Homo-oligomer: A and B are copies of this chain.
Amino acid sequence: MRTTMRAEIICIGTELLLGHVVNTNAAFLGRELALLGYDLHHTSVVGDNAARLAEVLQTALTRSSLVITTGGLGPTLDDLTKKTVADVLGRPMVHDAATTQSIRDFFGSRPYGANQETQAWFPEGATVLVNHHGTAPGCAVTADNGALLLLFPGPPGEMQPMFQDMALPILEKQVGASIVSFMVRTFGQGEGDAALKLGSLCENANPSTATYLGAHHEVFARVTAKAATRNEARELALPTVEEAKKRLGDVVYGVNVDSLEQVVVGLLRERGEEVATAESCTGGMLAMRITDIPGSSAVFRTGLVTYANETKTRLLGVPEDMLAAHGAVSPEVARCMAEGVRRSASSTYGIGITGIAGPDGGTEEKPVGLVYLALATPEGTFVCRMAPAGIYRGRNYVRERSVGLALDMLRRYLEHKPVPETFTC
């Protein structure tokens, strides 16, 4: 029943089973294995129990060519993965001197328990996978029937870089190919629209193209190519990446970048320009996202959260009679906020956001979810009206979409692309 390219994941830990920890490793491994071309049919979670782990391991080894475990590699009594694997494989545990040395180096002159040194024992025949982000090393070991086992520690911050650095070369060897991926990131369209625009690209097998829902309700297109070497895979993928960018159009804000705010901060830095913010309903979230980027102090000096009308007047010069005539949630006030903060902070650009995040405060004329955004530039001010398409999706959704749209308006302006006047969220 064993198929050459069938993989299986076993996550070990009572804390996973009882839900004290959400299993992000399984999701990570699922994505990585799919990219490599493995068929993944089963993911199991078992507690810290040797008998049940042995049972699950035995079943896995009879039906899969690759079995990946996470968890149970630490120095405590609960950590039984390596010993159980050795028992199932019918191998003794052997000592690895290099690992003992690296544990000693890690602790230096600090005292540590003898149990730490259990981490230097592995099933016979195993290759040690070094852990640069913690103390528990993993290992790779091939069963007598040819199935490959990879053992990783449980913390995602250790497991995931170890997979990339240590396991990927081993798996690429098993698969006989290198895999390269590009993430084309967009703001301001739904996943269905993105798939429609990508069209035939999504039907190709190599390079393959698929849509993903990312953080902050953004949609990404991932282009993946497989070839004999990384360079060949990259060369194979690039024309499709370019075609995907062309088909998706202005909504693309970057490829293999970390975030929209990273792109905006980078564009401003290149130009030696600055932005200042004046926020009402988003309450500081825009300033927070800009200042998430290390080095943002070069492009951002001032953010104002003018939550009350009085503060809009005092700090931004929004006239009281404008607030009375149009209300705080109006294109006039958004414009006045953006221009006011640009002027008072002596920044190149100013952004103003005013809206109704809800759940209360909506009227028939100005429903919950209505937000006006303004971008003041040396060439004039752009105002955009953001309104909900259908149901109200909560306070946080309205705030997140507003902040994304504000960043995207500035990104579009800096890239000489049209800044929208309306936006449906």
Binding site for B on A (CB under 8 A): 16-24, 26-32, 34, 40-47, 49, 52, 212-213, 277, 279, 281-288, 290-292, 294-297, 300-308, 310-311, 315, 345, 358-360, 395-396
Q: How far is the CA of A18 from the CA of B224 in the complex (A)?
A: 15
Interchain CB contact under 8 A, A284 and B294: no
Give 12 CB contacts A-B under 8 Å. A19-B34, A20-B212, A22-B24, A40-B47, A283-B303, A291-B305, A292-B396, A297-B307, A297-B308, A303-B307, A311-B345, A315-B315
In the complex, the count of this chain's copies comes to 2
Query: Given A284-B286, A288-B285 in contact, is the A294-B27 Cβ separation under 8 Å?
Result: no
Q: Which residue of B lies closest to A304 (CB)?
A: B304
Please measure, in the bound complex, the distance between the C-alpha atom of A17 and the C-alpha atom of B23, giving whole angstroms.
12
Contact assessment for B23 and A359 in the assembled complex, using a CB-CB cutoff below 8 Å: no
CA distance A28 to B20 in the complex (A): 9
Q: Would B31 and A19 count as touching, CB distance under 8 A?
A: yes
Of A45, A310, A358, most B-chain CB atoms within 10 Å: A45
Nearest Cβ in chain B — how far from A84, in angstroms?
15
| Distance (whole angstroms) from the CB of A340 to the closest CB of chain B | 13
- Chain B residues with CB under 8 A of A308: 297, 301-302
Which of B28, B213, B306 contacts A19 (CB under 8 A)? B28
Q: Which B residues are in CB contact (< 8 Å) with A40?
A: 17-18, 47
Q: How many angstroms from the CA of A18 to the CA of B32 in the assembled complex?
A: 8
A19 to chain B minimum Cβ distance, whole angstroms, is 3
Nearest CB on B from A187, distance (A): 20
Q: Is the interface of A mostly helix, strand, loop or mixed?
A: mixed
Are B284 and A288 touching (Cβ within 8 A)? Answer: yes
The closest CB in chain B to the CB of A24 belongs to B22
Which residue of chain B is the closest to A302 with respect to CB atoms?
Answer: B311
Specify which of B31, B283, B302, B307 is in contact with A20 (CB 8 Å cutoff).
Answer: B31
Knowing A43-B44, A301-B310, A307-B303 are in contact, say whether A23-B20 is a contact too (CB < 8 A). Answer: no
Residue of B nearest to A360 (CB): B294
CB pair A305 B277 closer than 8 Å: yes
In the bound assembly, the distance between CA atoms of A26 and B43 in angstroms comes to 12
Shortest CB-to-CB span from A7 to chain B, Å, is: 10
By a CB distance below 8 angstroms, the chain B residues around A302 are: 305-308, 311, 315
The docked-state distance in angstroms from the alpha carbon of A297 to that of B27 is: 39
Closest to A29 in B: B19
How long is the Cα–Cα vector from A301 to B313 in the complex, in angstroms?
12
B residues in contact with A290, CB < 8 Å: 283
Residues of B within 8 A of A284 (CB): 279, 283-288, 291, 303, 305
**CB proximity of A164 to chain B, nearest CB, Å:** 15
Docked pose: A249 CA to B304 CA in angstroms: 37
**Structural contact, A19 and B23, CB atoms closer than 8 A:** no
9 cross-chain pairs, A with B, having the tightest CB-CB distances, nearest first: A283-B291, A19-B30, A284-B284, A303-B305, A284-B287, A301-B308, A19-B27, A19-B31, A43-B45
Contacts of A292 in B (CB 8 A): 283, 395-396
CB distance from A17 to the nearest CB of B (A): 5
The smallest C-beta distance from A332 to any residue of chain B, in angstroms, reads 20
Distance in angstroms from A145 CB to nearest chain B CB is: 21
Q: Are A41 and B46 in contact (CB under 8 A)?
A: yes
Q: B22, B31, B42, B305: which contacts A18 (Cβ < 8 A)?
A: B31
Q: Which of A26, A284, A285 has the most CB of B within 10 A?
A: A284
Which residues of the other chain, B, contact A396 by a CB distance below 8 angstroms?
292
Report Cα–Cα, A32/B31, bound state, in Å. 28
Chain B neighbourhood of A212, CB < 8 A: 20
Given A27-B21, A31-B18, A287 contacting B283 (CB threshold 8 A) = yes
Q: How far is the CB of A36 from chain B (nearest CB, A)?
A: 12
Q: Are B42 and A44 in contact (CB under 8 A)?
A: yes
Is the Cβ of A288 less than 8 Å from the Cβ of B283? yes
Closest-by-CB residue of B relative to A290 is B283
